Every structure is written in structure tokens, then in C-alpha cells.
């Protein structure tokens, strides 16, 4: 169906194991935005020490990046989350659900050995789209 973002979970594929969709469709004519990885860095430059707080801030930063283009989190079609090994993915999921609610874009979450700065525990990047009205 043209004119809106669509999310699918094919009947012959297992149910998603979390708050995501297996497939996202961007219709022709939509603008596509690639948002760089957002870390849990507060506006004052400070970094929380807990992965849940960092994830919460990362989603706030992601929302601000999207807002600069008159978009919001519901415009996200693909979300990628990198979590440092040893951090609690349940805390990451809790923050994600807080911000994403019932919006379930295509998603990938990956554990990594570390991020560029040792104090960073999680990073979230996104692909978003705006469909012309």
C-alpha cells in the first residue's frame, strides 16, 4: 500500500522475540534519513554510569536528531543497538520500550566487546523515513 510506512511479521516466520517487526517497507517517494549512532551523552557532556540511564539518554538524543528534521521516533523504520558485553540487555529493552512504545520497527541488537570510549555502554542508530502526504 503506497503512502505510509508499513511493518510486517510474515505468518511463516517465527514471532518476533522482542518489540520489533521482521520487515519494514518504505513507499516510493519517501525521504529517507540515516541517523548516526547516538550515545548516552547528556547535553552538558556528562555520561551516566548505568546502561539503562545511558540508553534512556541515547533515545532522547535520537529523538532530538530526528526532531531537527521534523521527524519523531515513529518515523524510524530500522533501529540498530550495540550493547557492550556484560551489560544488562533487559535495561536496554526497558528504556527502548519507554521511548518507542508500540512502534516496532525492524531492529537488530548486537553485543560488542567495547565502543570507542570505554565509558560508553550502548549506542543506538536509526534509519527513518518521511512519507509525503
Sorted by where each begins, the domain ranges of the chain are 29-130
* Residue ranges in the chain modelled with pLDDT below 70: 1-2
Say what the pLDDT of residue 2 is. 54
Say what the pLDDT of residue 3 is. 76
Q: How far apart are CA 99 and CA 55, in angstroms?
A: 10
Cell numbers for 115, please give them: 565502543
State whether CATH 3.40.50.800 applies to domain 29-130.
Answer: no
Q: How far apart are CA 67 and CA 71, in angstroms?
A: 5
Amino acid at each position: 500500500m503506497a503512502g505510509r510506512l508499513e511493518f510486517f511479521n510474515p505468518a511463516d516466520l517465527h514471532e518476533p522475540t522482542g518489540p520489533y517487526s521482521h520487515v519494514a517497507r518504505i513507499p516510493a517517494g519517501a525521504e529517507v534519513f540515516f541517523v548516526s549512532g547516538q550515545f548516552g551523552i547528556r547535553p552538558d557532556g556528562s555520561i551516566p554510569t548505568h546502561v539503562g540511564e545511558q540508553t534512556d539518554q541515547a533515545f532522547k538524543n535520537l529523538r532530538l536528531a530526528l526532531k531537527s528534521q521534523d521527524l519523531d521516533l515513529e518515523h524510524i523504520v530500522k533501529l540498530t543497538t550495540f550493547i557492550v558485553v556484560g551489560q544488562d540487555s533487559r535495561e536496554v529493552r526497558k528504556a527502548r520500550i519507554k521511548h518507542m512504545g508500540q512502534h516496532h520497527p525492524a531492529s537488530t541488537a548486537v553485543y560488542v566487546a567495547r565502543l570507542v570510549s570505554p565509558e560508553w555502554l550502548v549506542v543506538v542508530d536509526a534509519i527513518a523515513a518521511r512519507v509525503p502526504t
